[in-house]
Structure 1
């Protein structure tokens, strides 16, 4: 199953526009930090070819690849997709909230908001249809997630530990290791998630 960045048109953001904006931001961050493609490739453990395609706006990188690139550049994913506010108070309009994952049945993961910089905190809203799964090989060291299930049942697995999170319940997980979220139930799963990195 692939998990590609897919900015849906109903968010108000045009797919091609967002891909090009994403490409420009990564290129700008790299130039500001004087990182060559080779060096960024090495730091992020992402192939140089993939980075070239991303900077051309021709690639559709997964959440995992965006996490690796942002961590290697010392910024947050929210910085890269531009939902990180610079002023003390900043509104993120509904049309500017990107969808960074779509499931095979139409589920979505939206990055609602996030702060700037390497000590990142992000707020996500996930909708997963029955049978959908999202897997991650793990985020940077010190990453943890706070999850709250609004509808349905979340099956959360971290390493070899599986947790069933019912509607109205919350969970805390260290996610700097392999983990995945699954909707193994027969109804829609909706949960909110805060992701934070402590350095």
Structure 2
């Protein structure tokens, strides 16, 4: 759902749950009834200052007015529709599994590391955490200044906003599932 529509529905829903008329909310927030009506219909894009006034009048945190819970539980991403990225001279293959979702703040990828492959991405944005599950093979992970050895079905979580790298430690392909969560 687009943000204007989500804001409009949130304000209207909260106003009604508190049994406030449009006139009363407009008066308490210090905005015109006409402006409030436009906002609730999704016709006006309220400024941050107006959102703050409305949040104070509704007695809710401002971020509640921005919530967009238009989350669809069923989503399919067939592998044939994703394009792999070859890295480390073709010895590593990164393939998107689930793209970034604004509601869950998650995204996931498969990482295949062929013999002697290494994957060392740039650190992510501040507050990003990576959850890794070794699907097959044995992998060395350097993260948060420590070294870890991941065997098949091992899992680990680490801060992805710092340097990290994976290396295949065997003479077979290692496959990982990487799930990124953006906390901030």
| Same fold by TM-score greater than 0.5 | yes
Paired position in structure 1 for 2:79: 94
- Judged with a 3 Å threshold, the aligned counterparts in structure 2 of structure 1 residues 136 and 107 are, in CA distance, closer, same or farther, namely closer
Larger Rg: 2
Could you tell me which of 165, 183, 191 is aligned with 2:168?
183
Q: Distance in 2 between matches of 1:188 and 1:163?
A: 18
Contact map agreement 2:128 2:183 (CA 8 A) in 1 = yes
Paired position in structure 1 for 2:26: none
C-alpha RMSD over aligned residues? 2.1
Q: Distance in 1 between matches of 2:146 and 2:169?
A: 16
Q: Distance in 2 between matches of 1:184 and 1:168?
A: 15
Paired position in structure 2 for 1:121: 106
Written as runs of structure 1 = structure 2, the 5 A alignment for 1:12-161 is 87-117=72-102, 120-161=105-146
Q: Distance in 1 between matches of 2:113 and 2:138?
A: 10
TM-score (norm 2): 0.55
Q: Distance in 2 between matches of 1:104 and 1:118?
A: 35
Q: Distance in 2 between matches of 1:107 and 1:130?
A: 9
Paired position in structure 1 for 2:149: 164
Paired position in structure 1 for 2:8: none
Paired position in structure 1 for 2:49: none
Q: Distance in 1 between matches of 2:171 and 2:118?
A: 13
SS of equivalent residue, structure 2 residue 101: coil
SS of equivalent residue, structure 1 residue 104: helix
Q: Distance in 2 between matches of 1:117 and 1:143?
A: 14
Instruction: Number of aligned residue pairs: give it.
Output: 114
TM-score (norm 1): 0.51
**Which 5+ residue runs of structure 2 have no aligned equivalent?**
1-70
